Each structure stands twice: as structure tokens, then as C-alpha cells.
Amino acid sequence: MFVSLRFPNLPRIQQFIQGEEGLPYSYPEIGASRTQGPAHYDNDHHSVYLGEGEAVWNRAVAALRAWQQFPPDWTVVHPQRTPLEEGQTVAVLFRLFGMWWTNSARIVYCLDEPQRFGFAYGTLPGHVECGEECFWIERDSAGAIHYHIRAFSKPRFWLVRLAYPFARTQQKRFVRQSLARMEAIAQQNIKL
């Protein structure tokens, strides 16, 4: 993890990613976001109804493939077009207090089924938290399509532990905005 007053330049971000690529995950419960997470973490699961039909499904799949579930006003994933493949390492940047916080994560698993599509990533040592987050869309037997976020996490960096209630508020902010963004994309209120 590193912090900068300005958005970091791309070579610095790439250097950070390369330094994290060979490192282990920062938590032992790899893949646990497939179900309810471990008890000694904060566990969250949120979802929103996106609609029905192939057009909604295709827009939602395209949005996840392009990492568009991240609120663009204060979050960025780099490389922005990282393919959804197990083992891909990314930098997850967020802006807070006028500074850019750069964190590392790696895709743990992918979901590519007829009625479910998405992926989960897990934190690496260069992340302020430790845990896993899964983003997926799912179509039920009646045709209703929902977007889900399931995560388990706990603070890793001392400042996050110190400001734990504020960190949880920011996590909830991310969830609210991600759900609203995916809903807007599915309803064509945001173009990719």
C-alpha cells in the first residue's frame, strides 16, 4: 500500500503491482467468499434487482468484465481492462482525504455459468484490509437478475484499525454506490 497526494503515475502503479504479484494473500481463508465468510471478519452481503431479459444480463456482464462496478468518482482499478482470470493482480485505488491510497488484490476465482457471472478478489500484503470480495450477477428461475456483493474483511493497516468505524462507513459507501451504478448500467442510464 502506498499513499500519494496526486493520482500516482502509471509506471509507479505498475511497479507496485509487479512487486505484489508473487506475494501470498494476506489472509488464510482463500475462496471463502463463495459462502458466508469466516466468523472473525466483518461479513457483508448486499444485492440489488437489475431487471430481466438478455439485454440487462449482457449489460451487467459487460460492466463486470470492464470493472465498472467501482464508483468512478473516487475509485479506480488498474489496469482498467484486466481480464477476469484467476491469478490476475490489480491495484485498487481510492481517494480519501484528498489523497490516493493504492492497494493490491488478486482474482481468487471466477464465475462463468449460464445463470451466474462474476469474480472474487482477495487482498495482498499491500492492502489496508485483509479479506475477500465477490461481485456477481445472478438470474433466478423466474428470470429476475440481481447484482451481488459479498465480502469478508478486517483492518490490516494500523490506521484503519484505529479508525475502524470510519473504515466501515467507507465500505458501506462503496457498496451503496456500486449497487446504484450497476442498477443504472443495467437500465441504460450509464453507458460503458
The pLDDT of residue 9: 94
The pLDDT of residue 161: 72
Q: If you average pLDDT over every residue of the chain, what do you get?
A: 94
- Reference 110, options 34, 172, 37; nearest CA is 34
Mean pLDDT of 124-134: 95
Set of cell numbers at residue 9: 503515475
Mean pLDDT of 89-111: 95
Q: Could you tell me if 108 and 124 are in contact, meaning their C-beta atoms sit under 8 angstroms apart?
A: no
pLDDT band with cut points at 50, 70 and 90 for residue 43: very high
Residues comprising the chain, all counted: 192
pLDDT band with cut points at 50, 70 and 90 for residue 137: very high
pLDDT band with cut points at 50, 70 and 90 for residue 190: low
Q: Which amino acid is at 148?
A: H
- Reference 84, options 100, 60, 108, 103; nearest CA is 108
Q: 3-class DSSP state for residue 120?
A: strand
pLDDT in tens, 178-189: 999 999 999 887
The domain segmentation of the chain, as residue ranges, is 2-186
Does residue 192 register a pLDDT over 70? Answer: no
Name the DSSP letter for residue 140: -
Does residue 79 register a pLDDT over 80? Answer: yes
Helices (H), ranges, the chain: 10-20, 54-65, 158-162, 164-186
Chosen CATH of 2-186 out of 3.40.50.150, 3.40.630.10, 3.30.530.20, 3.90.1170.50: 3.30.530.20
Q: Could you tell me if 117 and 137 are in contact, meaning their C-beta atoms sit under 8 angstroms apart?
A: yes
* pTM for this predicted structure: 0.94
Spacing of C-alpha 89 from chain mean position: 12
